[in-house]
Chain A
Amino acid sequence: MAQAISPPEAPGAPESAPGTKEPARYSSDAAGLGKARAGVFMAPALLLIAAFLVFPALWVLYLGLTNYRLTGIAAAEPQFVGLDNLLDAVANPTFWSSTWLTTQFVLGSAVIGQVGLGFTIAWLLRDRRGPLKRVVEGLVILAWILPSAIVSFLWVALLDRDGGTLNALLGIPGTAWLLDHPMLSIIVFNTWRGTAFSMMLYGAALGNVPPSHLESARLAGASGWQQLRDVVFPHIRGHILTNLLLISLWTFNDFTPFLLTAGGPDGKSEVLAVHVYKVALQGGELGYGAAVSTIILLINLVVAVFYLRLLRSKK
Chain B
Amino acid sequence: MTRFVLGRIGFYTLIAVLLAFFTIPLLWLVTAPFTTDPTYEVAVPDFTWDNFAAVAEHPYALPSLWNSVVLSVGTALLVVLFSALAAYALSRVRLPGRDALLYALLLLSSIITGTAAMVPLFQLAVELNLIDSQLGLILILTGGLLPAAIFMLKDFMDSTPKSYEESARVFGATPLQIVRHVVVPLVRPGLATIAVWAVANVWGNFLMPYLLLSDVEKQPAAVITYTLYTEGGQANLSMLSTFGLLYSIPVVLMYLFVSKKYGFRFHGGIKR
**What residues of chain A have their CB less than 8 Å away from a CB belonging to chain B?**
1-2, 4-14, 17-20, 22-23, 26-35, 37-39, 41-42, 44-46, 48-49, 51-57, 59-60, 63, 68, 120-121, 124, 132, 135-136, 139-143, 145-151, 153-158, 160, 162-166, 168-169, 192, 200-201, 204-205, 208, 238-239, 242-243, 246, 249, 253-256, 259, 272-273, 276-277, 280-281, 286, 289-290, 293, 296-297, 300-301, 303-305, 307-308, 311-312, 315
Contact with A along B261-272 (1 / 0, CB 8 A): 010111111111
Contact residues in B for A146 (Cβ distance below 8 Å): 204, 248, 251-252
Instruction: Knowing A139-B26, A297-B116, say if A242 contacts B268 (CB, 8 Å).
Output: yes
Contacts of A273 in B (CB 8 A): 114-115
B28 touches A165 (CB 8 A): yes
The interface of chain B, by Cβ under 8 A from chain A, is 11, 14-15, 18-19, 21-29, 39-42, 78, 81-83, 85-86, 88-90, 92-95, 103, 105-124, 139-140, 142-148, 150-152, 155-156, 158-163, 165-166, 168-169, 175, 178-179, 182-183, 190, 193, 196-197, 200-201, 203-207, 211, 221-223, 225-226, 229, 237, 240, 244, 247-248, 251-252, 255, 262, 264-272
Query: What are some 30 contacts across the A-B interface (CB < 8 A)?
Result: A2-B114, A4-B200, A5-B201, A6-B268, A8-B190, A9-B266, A18-B163, A23-B166, A30-B92, A32-B169, A34-B93, A34-B175, A42-B86, A44-B81, A44-B82, A59-B123, A68-B123, A124-B15, A147-B203, A147-B251, A149-B221, A150-B247, A154-B244, A249-B110, A254-B115, A259-B206, A290-B119, A293-B118, A297-B112, A300-B110
From the candidates B26, B27, B159, B204, name the one contacting A1 in the complex (CB within 8 A): B204
B143 and A7 form a contact (CB under 8 A): no
Task: Check A272–B92 contact: CB distance below 8 A.
Answer: no
Chain B positions within 8 Å of A162 at CB level: 40
Please pick, from B82, B120, B162, the residue contacting A56 in the complex, using a CB distance under 8 A.
B120
Q: Are A286 and B119 in contact (CB under 8 A)?
A: yes
Known interface pairs A1-B204, A32-B169, A239-B268. Does A143 touch B22 (Cβ–Cβ under 8 Å)? yes
Please, how many angstroms separate the alpha-carbon atoms of A45 and B85 in the complex?
A: 8
Does the CB pair A158–B25 fall under 8 Å? yes
Q: Which residue of A lies closest to B108 (CB)?
A: A53
Residues of B within 8 A of A42 (CB): 85-86, 89-90
Say yes or no: A52-B82 contact (C-beta < 8 A), given A6-B266, A147-B251, A255-B206: no
Give Cα A157–Cα B15 distance, bound, in whole angstroms.
24
Q: Is the CB of B108 within 8 A of A7?
A: no
Query: Are B108 and A49 in contact (CB-based, < 8 A)?
Result: yes
Enumerate chain B residues within 8 angstroms of A31, measured Cβ to Cβ.
92, 165, 168-169, 175, 178-179, 182-183
A139 touches B23 (CB 8 A): yes
Contacts of A208 in B (CB 8 A): 267
Provide the residues of chain A in CB contact with B26, threshold 8 Å: 139, 142-143, 154
Interface residues of chain A: helix, strand, loop or mixed (majority): helix
In the complex, the chain A residue whose C-beta lies closest to that of B173 is A31
Q: How far is the CA of A242 from the CA of B267 in the complex (A)?
A: 11
CA distance A238 to B111 in the complex (A): 21
Q: From residue B35, how far is it (CB to closest CB) to chain A in Å?
A: 13
Q: How far is the CA of A305 from the CA of B109 in the complex (A)?
A: 12
Contact A145 B25 (CB under 8 A): no
Contacts of B11 in A (CB 8 A): 124
Taking the nearest CB of chain B, how far is it from the CB of A278, in angstroms? 11
